[in-house]
Homo-oligomer: A and B are copies of this chain.
Amino acid sequence: MSPRPMVRPGGRSARVQESVHAAVRELVGEVGRDALTVPMVAGRAGVTPSTIYRRWGDLQELLSDVAVERLRPETEPADLGSLRADLDAWAEQFLDEMASPAGRAYIRDALLGDSDGTNAGKCSAYAAEQLDAVLSRAVRRGEPVPETELLIDRVVAPIMYRILFRPGRLDTAYARELVTHALSAV
């Protein structure tokens, strides 16, 4: 759950992270992202500002970590009985979530405070894990399946590219078209 190697689940470090993340989420809801400051977050979380600076460097890095946590999928992809149905549902939900105003803000935050690419890599790993789950299920059903990396290139990448760089086309029909095309490879 935590991006820092020194964090042990249940330890003090994990508790600090949890309370600081919770403070950010609450304060973003109350005062908005633009009004957020490190002392404000520290006050709400019950830690000193220097604890936050020491651990996260600055507010942008903290917002990046919080965003990645928010982008982490909470459930397994739905099992609808076939690869096609599972992928359609997953792609539609992925597109809906990422292209929503909240999703766009999280993607942006995740990238901005992430100078070494660790958090961006996590976002991509989350998508790959969900696709792996869908593909493993299809293999157990005896269906032919494409590679995960092919689905990344043909379904995930176009959606994320259009969200970041090229507005338009981001609807359910587009998600299904990408899935149809990706599955034409198997």
Could you tell me which A residues sit within 8 Å of B by CB distance? 108, 111-112, 117, 120-121, 123-124, 149, 152-154, 156-158, 160-162, 164-167, 169, 178
Contact = CB atoms under 8 A, between A and B. Distances in A.
A131 B159 CA distance: 19
Contact of A153 (B120, B121, B178): B178
A165 B124 contact: yes
A28 to B, nearest CB: 16
Contact of A166 (B108, B121, B166): B121
A164 B117 CA distance: 8
Nearest to A185: B181
Contacts of A165: 120-121, 123-124, 160
19 contacts: A108-B111, A111-B112, A111-B164, A112-B112, A117-B167, A120-B165, A121-B165, A121-B166, A121-B167, A123-B165, A152-B161, A152-B166, A153-B154, A153-B158, A153-B161, A153-B178, A157-B161, A157-B162, A158-B158
A153 B179 CA distance: 12
A99 to B, nearest CB: 12
Contacts of A153: 154, 158, 161, 178
Contacts of A178: 153
